[in-house]
Amino acid sequence: MEGTGHAVCLGPDIDTDIIIAGRYLRTKDRSVWAEHVLEDLDPALAPRLRGAVIVAGRNMGCGSSREQAPVALKEAGVLAVIAPSFARIFFRNAINVGLPVIECDGVPCTAGEPVAFSLDEGWVKAGGVRYNARPLSVRMQEILDAGGLVNYWRAKE
Amino acid sequence: MTTLSERILGACAGEYVDRLVDRAFAHDGTGVLALEAFREMGRTVPAFPERISIFFDHLAPANNSQTATLQAELRDFAIECGLHFSDVGEGICHQLMSEGRALPGEIVVGADSHSCTAGAFGAFATGVGATDMAAIWAGGSTWFRVPETTAIQLEGSLTGAAEAKDLALTYVGRLGMDGATYRALEFTGEGASAIAMEGRLTLTNMAIEAGAKTGLFYADNITRRYLAEYGHDVTMQVPRDPDYAQEMVINLDDIVPVLSIPHRVDTIADVTDYEGTPLDQVFVGTCTNGRYSDIERFAALIRGKKVKTRTIVVPASRDVLLRAGRTGVLTDLIEAGCIVGPPGCGPCLGMHMGVLGEGEVALSTANRNFRNRMGVGAEYYLGSVATAAASALAGGICAPEVP
Ligand code: SF4
């Protein structure tokens, strides 16, 4: 899996409450989550996420187990999320819903600039420099390749 | 030698394993999505229905008809499939799991981040998201990366007004919000064996706030006695000289009443530093501090007096509420001016009754204080039950008196 998108920069310790607030969870309508994603951080951010690669600080996605957080990012059009470290439930959830998450140290972030990634080859490129990503486990790679855990299960049947 | 996580998962730290799950649970928040994913997987009936629980606690009773409709669908599924089902008013999933539903040595997986709570019984208990839960319903198992372990070595004993909650906030503060990411925490040492079951549950509950996969206590005599009340006869667990990736020593004699300051759970300060901060609301409850012993302690501290700010008390389960009724604790709370809510999560996640208004300031006995969680534009501090009682009586943040 490869891609290039414009960078959206986020700080460290972005929690799942700030990604999608509890008040928007009373629905199964994914477009509601996409519309309100990261609203409490910056209400103007959601429309800028289409085709974006998020470059976040450490401990991305900490807090609650709400899967609506990675779903909201994916629905809003985020291509991948890059961070030096992720909270583990968010990391698992993102893979399960088919949102590429890439653990990679030292990636600089300039808003709007292109960021490229290759999960197959394990790198991220930003500002003309290539950074090595930590590989996914074999199982996680398989789930992501299938497009998420639901498809992975359907293929197994 | 092996850590408790390695023993329960039967493999060494760093290995990936597939394991059957002994107990799996979801709540009305995550269960709705899990059910959707389960059906998308082409499934209709879970593989091991007897191992699965559904708890309605997050929006209980439903706050509007949209919620009620989503709950009805999940309720029908749970009843039709013969799952263990706990309807609105029964209480918080983690509390109900700790009322005899999780046992030492088991693998317990919940679709909620605080599922690590059941580690207090010597179980490997951890949280996942909705689709992982759907896959567990479908096949009964899931994959784990066996975690490295950070030992929290406890020495001495808690003194003065300090509670297990103050210890929980202190260790999260020392580790930081991601200080234990991908790891398990093991609470060990002489100090650990002296902590009552309720306090252990508070400590393991907050493991996720430091990013940990789970927090564990070894099952000992306290565990045996506690679980015997629910009809279980359990085998004790003895540490086998485990290899820890990291060790942190905490002397319990040094623990004092502390607060977590808005909006990071790992920003910890002495209560005395914030004394006098006016409060619009005090909230006592949640899976961290809504147990009977918490409510009883709170009531004992305010008995015969009047609270000076809006004070909401939400028992963690029907059993807690029932006991509070029988012992007169409920009357004490109501006479002192508290509002008592139905068992469940209450205002903890800002979706329901007791939500804060813009600019309001609260003190809560919960486990996380992310910005806007309990109300948009509000601020809230986390503290112990004793700090909540002193503050409710003062109408502002106030350090508890040494009993
Ligand atoms: S009480 Fe709060 S932290 Fe605990 S399960 Fe409910 S919402 Fe989550």
Q: Which of B66, B129, B182 sits opposite A27 (nearest CB)?
A: B66
B-chain CB neighbours of A136 within 8 Å are none
- Cβ neighbours of B221 (radius 10 Å): 9
Query: Closest Cα partner for B168 from B266, B97, B244, B247?
Result: B266
The pLDDT of residue B236 is 96
CA angle B184, B129, B383 (to 5 degrees): 60
Q: Do B16 and A137 touch (CB under 8 A)?
A: yes
Mean per-residue pLDDT, B140-164: 97
Q: Are B262 and B251 found together in one domain? A: no
pLDDT tens figures, B268-297: 999 999 999 999 999 999 999 999 999 999
Question: Considering its fold, how many domains does chain B have in total?
Answer: 2
Q: Which residues contact A43 (CB under 8 A, 6 or more apart)?
A: none
Q: Are B130 and B219 found together in one domain? A: yes
Q: Do B211 and A138 touch (CB under 8 A)?
A: no
Q: Are B9 and B137 found together in one domain? A: yes
Task: Enter the tokens of residue A51.
Answer: 């085709």
Q: Are B171 and B202 found together in one domain? A: yes
Mean pLDDT lowest among B25-29, B102-106, B350-354, B375-379: B350-354
- End-to-end CA separation in angstroms for chain B: 42
Question: Is the CB–ligand 1 distance for residue B317 below 6 Å?
Answer: no
Write down which residue in B237, B256, B275 finishes a domain. B256
Q: Which of B29, B127, B178 sits opposite A59 (nearest CB)?
A: B178
In a domain, B400, yes or no: no
In a domain, B339, yes or no: yes
Domain containing residue B124: CATH number: 3.30.499.10
Q: Which residues contact B377 (CB under 8 A, 6 or more apart)?
A: B357, B358, B359
Q: Is the pLDDT of residue B256 over 80?
A: yes
Give the range of the structural domain holding residue B288, as residue numbers without chain letter.
258-394
Q: Are B171 and B247 found together in one domain? A: yes
pLDDT tens figures, B172-226: 999 999 999 999 999 999 999 999 999 999 999 999 999 999 999 999 999 999 9
In a domain, B401, yes or no: no
Mean per-residue pLDDT, B363-372: 95
State the pLDDT confidence band at A156, using cuts at 50, 70 and 90: confident
State the pLDDT confidence band at A13, using cuts at 50, 70 and 90: very high
In a domain, B399, yes or no: no
The pLDDT of residue B1 is 80
- Residue B129 contacts A where some CB pair is shorter than 8 Å: yes
Write down which residue in B204, B227, B256 finishes a domain. B256
The residue contributing the CA closest to ligand 1 atom 6 is B345
The pLDDT of residue A26 is 84
Q: Are B236 and B277 found together in one domain? A: no
Percent of chain B with pLDDT over 70: 100
- Residue A45 contacts B where some CB pair is shorter than 8 Å: no
41-60 in B: which are within 8 Å (CB) of A? 41-42, 59
Beta-sheet strands, E only, within B263-357? 268-270, 281-284, 310-313, 339-340
The pLDDT of residue B123 is 98
A-chain CB neighbours of B70 within 8 Å are 26-28
Q: Are B266 and B362 found together in one domain? A: yes
Question: Is the CB–ligand 1 distance for residue B208 below 6 Å?
Answer: no
Write down which residue in B202, B224, B256 finishes a domain. B256
C-alpha dist (Å) from residue B98 to A44, B21, B116, B317: 43, 17, 11, 10
- Phi, then psi, of B113 in degrees rounded to 5: -65, -30
The pLDDT of residue B192 is 97
Q: Is the pLDDT of residue A157 over 80?
A: no
In a domain, B148, yes or no: yes
Pairing of strands A114-118, A123-126: antiparallel
Question: Is the CB–ligand 1 distance for residue B92 below 6 Å?
Answer: yes
Hey, which CATH number is domain A2-156, 3.30.750.24, 3.20.19.10, 3.40.640.10, 3.30.2130.10? Answer: 3.20.19.10
Q: Is the pLDDT of residue B39 over 90?
A: yes
Q: Are B186 and B312 found together in one domain? A: no
Residue of B114, B209, B313, B314 best suited for mutating to test ligand 1, as the one with most atoms within 8 Å of CB: B114
Q: Which of B33, B59, B70 sits opposite A67 (nearest CB)?
A: B33
Mean per-residue pLDDT, B149-153: 98
